[in-house]
Structure 1
């Protein structure tokens, strides 16, 4: 069975919306987009590089997949993140996409997210990682499909925005399996679902 790991950038009050750019996700009138880059530093880069060095496939929701195509799918800059993302098999869960041809090595999973991912998880193959895709993470968390959570907890509270684990979900306990604090105050915490 394939393990699923999610890697999420989150504020202290649980917001995951609009990390990278002011226009990344303004839904619901969100005005705090672009809150994350000011916290990037060498330690965070090194820790993320360790994660990306592990072999595995990627799992995306439609919106994040389309956003990542712009940021990563057309780059040939020699960046190890770019190389990893372009080489990895990318599964995109969507009921609205016609195909996944816009980014190499992408496979479209149509239908209910939890059902499609459960089928994929049961197949032999590489472990799966989710970067972003908060709606997908919430759906999979609600049915217990995510095994590992890497949270990059940023030292700020926004007061509004989409939350990581908002909505109905079963009682879930986690074991802290490792953590690193960056010089800019981000805590990178690794949890495994018990």
Structure 2
């Protein structure tokens, strides 16, 4: 059976929307896009690069897949992410079976996220790592399909925006590891207690 790990950048008040740039995700009139600017350092880059050395596959919601791969495959500066994201096996969840996947090593999981990811998790041998994909993570969390959270908790409060867990039921987590960056971000790795 596969193991699902969700990696999220999050504010102190739980917002995960629009980390990277002003126009990244303006749904609901979100006006705080790009809030993660200036918080990246060598500590956070090193931590994230660790996750890109193992076996397994990536799991994305369609929107995040298009945005994230579109950004990193066009990056001009050398980084540890472009090569990994391009060549890693990727599963993309979409409600539509007509979704076109533009990047190599990509497989469409068309239909209901809980059903398609549940079936993949049951048959997969290894880690399935989600980056971002808030709607997908909320659905999988409610269904008990997320095994681990890696949260990059930023020292900022936005007051509005889509939150990671929304109105989810209680879940007990166990801290496995934590690291503090030079910019005040706490990276906390939690396993979900079953």
Using the size of structure 1 for normalisation, the TM-score is 0.95
SS at match of 1:64: helix
Structure 2 residue aligned with 1:3: 3
Provide the alpha-carbon RMSD of the alignment.
Answer: 1.4
Gapped runs of 5+ residues in structure 2? Answer: none
Structure 1 residue 82 displacement after superposition: 1.1
Alignment of 1:42-81 (within 5 A): 42-74=42-74, 79-81=79-81
Does structure 1 conserve the Cα–Cα contact (< 8 Å) formed by 2:177 and 2:188?
yes
For residues 76 and 57 of structure 2, what CA distance do their matches in structure 1 show? 20
What are the Cα deviations for residues 77-115 of structure 1, in whole angstroms up to 9, with x where unaligned?
Answer: 653211111111111100136244311111111111001
Q: Helix, strand or coil: the match of 2:50?
A: helix
CA distance in 1, matches of 2:173, 2:137: 16
Q: How far, CA to CA, are the matches of 1:17 and 1:132 in structure 2?
A: 9
Tell me the residue number matched to 1:37: 37
Partner of 1:103: 103
Conservation of the 8 A alpha-carbon contact between 1:92 and 1:100? no
Q: What is the distance in 1 between the residues matched to 2:31 and 2:83? A: 32
Distance 1:160 1:134 in 2: 15
Q: Which moved more, 1:50-59 or 1:93-102?
A: 93-102
For these two proteins, the number of residue pairs brought into alignment is 193
Summarize deviations over 1:149-180 as a string: whole Å, max 9, x none: 0000000000000000002x332100000000
User: Which residue in 2 is equivalent to 1:113?
Assistant: 113
The yes-or-no answer on 1:183 pairing with 2:182 is: yes
Q: C-alpha distance in 1, partners of 2:54/2:76?
A: 20
TM-score when scaled to structure 2?
A: 0.95
**1:18 is matched with which residue?**
18
Give the match for residue 166 of structure 1.
Answer: 166
State the distance in 1 between where 2:182 and 2:79 align.
23
Unaligned runs of 5+ residues in structure 1 are none
